[in-house]
Amino acid sequence: MTLPHPTADQINLPIVLAVLGDPTRLAIVRYLASKEGVPMNCGKFLDLASKTNLSYHLAKLREAGVTRTEAVGTSRLITLRRDDLDKRFPGLLDSVIAAAGEDKALPMVGSADTEIDA
């Protein structure tokens, strides 16, 4: 890991809520949760926003402690920080993901095959 991440105890509730309170970012988190364990690269989310804008949103998620971003080659592998979030805010991530799963208005990550293991 090269990029700056908060430690688990630096993760802050209002910031996490504010970061999740954006439809693009919520869609990213929902997708990461649906493929948990499989690190995603940024390109996977290109149907949610432009490359530049994605860089911005993914940085927000990382800085809030919601995701972990690992640099591998020219790629960034993005994962949910589930253990840290569960430790810090038990049940929060699960209820958000469950609620997001019901949300038909939320943008959807498309089905282009860009998974790391595809």
Binding residues vs DNA (CB under 7 A):
18, 22, 24, 41-43, 49-60, 69, 73-76
Find out whether 85 and 66 touch, Cβ atoms under 8 Å: yes
Map residue 53 onto helix, strand or coil: helix
Residue whose CB is less far from a copy of itself, 32 or 100: 100
Give the one entry of DNA, a copy of itself, none that residue 110 binds, where binding means its C-beta sits below a cut-off of 5 to 8 angstroms depending on kind.
none
Bridge partners of residue 69, in order along the sequence: 78
Residue whose CB is less far from a copy of itself, 8 or 38: 8
The dihedral through the CA atoms of 7, 45, 109, 40 has a sign that is negative
d(CA 118, CA 116): 6
Tell me: does residue 9 bind a copy of itself (CB under 8 A): no
Find out whether 35 and 72 touch, Cβ atoms under 8 Å: no
Tell me: does residue 34 bind a copy of itself (CB under 8 A): no
Site residues, a copy of itself (CB under 8 A)? 12-23, 26, 88-92, 94-96, 98-100, 103, 105-106
